[in-house]
Chains A and B, each alone.
Chain A
Amino acid sequence: MLKIEAVLQPSKLDAVKDALLEAGIEGMTILEARGHGRQKGHTEFYRGREYTVDLLPKVKIELVVVDELKDKVIEAIESAARTGRIGDGKIFVSRIDEAIRIRNDERGESAL
């Protein structure tokens, strides 16, 4: 089982969700986040002085899927979220040791 985390521009959330649903992925967790990579922040004015705000609003999607779906998921996210500009975001993949359904204590891939 793999965990796929994607940090995205908030404006791309709907497109990515739709792409994932179309790819047959139904479960996901969405978090509001702040951060930046190479994308510079923006400047704001307060009482005549300029401040740089580094922490930009982002959205993070987390999915846990069976190994076989990895490429399909990555393809869905990339095609929906890519604009070609700095700030598109990143995807990380890691291994998951255990998955458990709380309702009935089902374990393993069938819990996903």
Chain B
Amino acid sequence: MRGRSILLLVPSTLFLFLFAATFSAVAQAPAAQAPATQAQVAALQQQIQTAQMNADNAWMLVSAALVLLMTGPGLALFYGGLVRRKNILATMMQSFAMMGLVTILWAVFGYSLAFGHGNAFIGGFEHIFLRGVGLTPNTDYAATIPEQTYMVYQLMFAIITPALITGAFAERMKFSAMAVFLSLWSLLVYSPMAHMVWGVGGLLNANGGQIPSLDFAGGTVVHITSGVSALITAIYLGKRLGYPHTNMQPHSMVLSFIGACLLWVGWFGFNAGSALGSGPLATSAFVNTHFAAAAAALGWTIAEWIHNGKPTALGAISGAVAGLVAITPASGFVQPFPALLIGLIAGAFCSFMVFEVKSRLGYDDSLDAFGVHGAGGTLGAILTGLFATSAINAAFGKGVPTGAIDGHWGQVLHQLAGVGIAWSISIVGTLVLLFLVDKIIGLRVSPEDEREGLDLSQHGEEGYDLNS
């Protein structure tokens, strides 16, 4: 009993203390009403700035998480469902491997090569091993968030870009060769492209580059590079055994559907996060992203309904992804209704690429990485030049026309230059790396391994054991 009574002492003491403190504060009130000093104002301003920065940082960290979600499990499920059952794990492993490998490469060299000071084409070694990348902002890129936030946000982009390429060579590439090829690709194609478009002094940087091009969240850096590299890889590797007359339908549209929806939601981090803050520009990008996805899903669905007589689930989700790809470069530059239009055009255009162009030209881009990302990214980059307006984002300075809709038709040419560079670096870089890795390791699995399925031949596992 005595023990319990002692406990009462604690709250009582606290209460008495608070009571006394209140009274003493009240008693001091008249003195505090004297004019505030410079130091107090400065302290308040600092607090306000910190609060604003924390708001931006909160959204940026969430965005980084959303972009990672796009790879794992978004892309893993989307691609995984589209392949045959015997390759499900291998397909997911390819995306997952990027999550591990690219992270390490980015930390060691990748971030420095992309965002360090260098020349117009590539960064330098100033941030090797993330030297100098701490918790204070890097005002070259984002003045209100710690540089580590910026670094880790950009890392998620670096992860998903090579993961997208895996769609082109699905069901036939060796895991070891894929790991080496995509690691090298990340350093030699992705980092330079990211530097050119977003890095300080980059050739295509909207802020002072020699050919200022507008790429809000990575239409050229992520989608064109991955899509075109995908096409090159698909052609170099050759078609899957039995393509095109064998039926290689998706083994689980359910998984793909879930993956696509995760991509849609994750894309809010991809695009709206590229505002690098939580202000109104993020809102613009968020709204545009959503509108484009919706319009494109509709565009592809209608195109397919006319073409086949039935709207497929695969068509609808592919349409949504195509719209998301196309709006990526435009997301922080255009008004909402142009965003709808961009989506609608992308849905119809990418469906055409996949239905007509792919079958006519005969390449086996297994999961349509080129048809959706390469083609969608190219289309989006050009439409960005058309619809970018300083009313949403005065990218070139207050009152300076941004895109064609503002009267600056020259921007479309700049966009084409960016597209051209992205295509070139992707084609050349990918061919060189494919050739090298093929000679040293060998890219394609043996026909027996391909028939057995990559899950067993590459990983000694089965995706589903329905009998256990």
Contact = CB atoms under 8 A, between A and B. Distances in A.
Interface in B247-266: 247-250
A92 interface: no
A49 interface: yes
A49 B359 contact: yes
B310 A45 contact: yes
A47 to B, nearest CB: 6
A53 B248 CA distance: 12
| Chain A interface main SS type | strand
B445 interface: no
B325 to A, nearest CB: 17
Q: How large is the interface on B (under 10, 10 to 19, 20 to 34, 35 or more residues)?
A: 10 to 19
Nearest to B244: A49
B249 A51 contact: yes
Interface string B184-228: 000000000000000000000000000000000000000000000
B304 A48 contact: yes
A45 B308 contact: yes
B180 interface: no
Interface residues of A, number: 9
B247 A51 contact: yes
| Chain B interface main SS type | helix
Contacts of A44: 249
Contacts of A51: 247, 249
A48 B354 contact: yes
A46 B250 contact: yes
A46 B359 contact: no
A45, A46, A48, A50, most chain B CB atoms within 10 A = A48
A51 B245 CA distance: 10
B314 A47 contact: yes
Contact of A48 (B248, B249, B250, B359): B359
A41 to B, nearest CB: 11
B392 to A, nearest CB: 36
B119 interface: no
Contacts of B310: 45
Interface of B: 247-250, 304, 307-308, 310, 312, 314, 351, 354-356, 358-359, 368
